[in-house]
Amino acid sequence: MLTRIDHIGIACHDLDTTVEFYRATYGFEVFHTEVNEEQGVREAMLKINETSDGGASYLQLLEPTREDSAVGKWLAKNGEGVHHIAFGTADVDGDAADIRDKGVRVLYEEPRTGSMGSRITFLHPKDCHGVLTELVTSAAVESPEH
């Protein structure tokens, strides 16, 4: 069962400049940063709030590390802005299977490792009214790591 909005992914050309905008404008601070070589992105997670299920909601700022990455291609085509929405779940495998059974294409056969050690998969935007949708099961322990 989907329990919350885990994060909203925002593609950007310059991660540091974008982080500074969200810090200066809204007061959001960086909770976690990492480079995901597999996905070809450098990212910053800005925590917005805690949630009732023990998780949190974030803005995920994504800067491509290479032009041929999914985010790099998307950014070249669409420019900066909202890239995807992610819903939190305790069971990414089960929820992905349930959603697949409803006719929605799940992009990964098996969930992959995402931000902060989470398990993730994506749903095809053409099956979700134009919205790239991610399902996320958070890692057991969330801690600030920069």
Q: How far is CA 92 from CA 109, 120, 122, in A?
A: 12, 7, 10
Nearest to residue 36, comparing CAs of 73, 7, 61, 6? 61
Tens of pLDDT, residues 77-125: 999 999 999 999 999 999 999 999 999 999 999 999 999 999 999 999 9
Nearest to residue 71, comparing CAs of 24, 132, 135? 132
Nearest to residue 33, comparing CAs of 23, 13, 19, 51? 19
List, in order, residues 6 or more apart from 76 with CB less than 8 Å away.
67
Please identify every residue annotated as catalytic. Answer: 7, 43, 60, 84, 134
Choice between 143 and 50, residue whose per-residue pLDDT is larger: 50
Of 3-7, 65-69, 96-100, 139-143, the poorest mean pLDDT is in 139-143
pLDDT of residue 103: 97
Give the largest Cα separation in the chain, rounded: 44
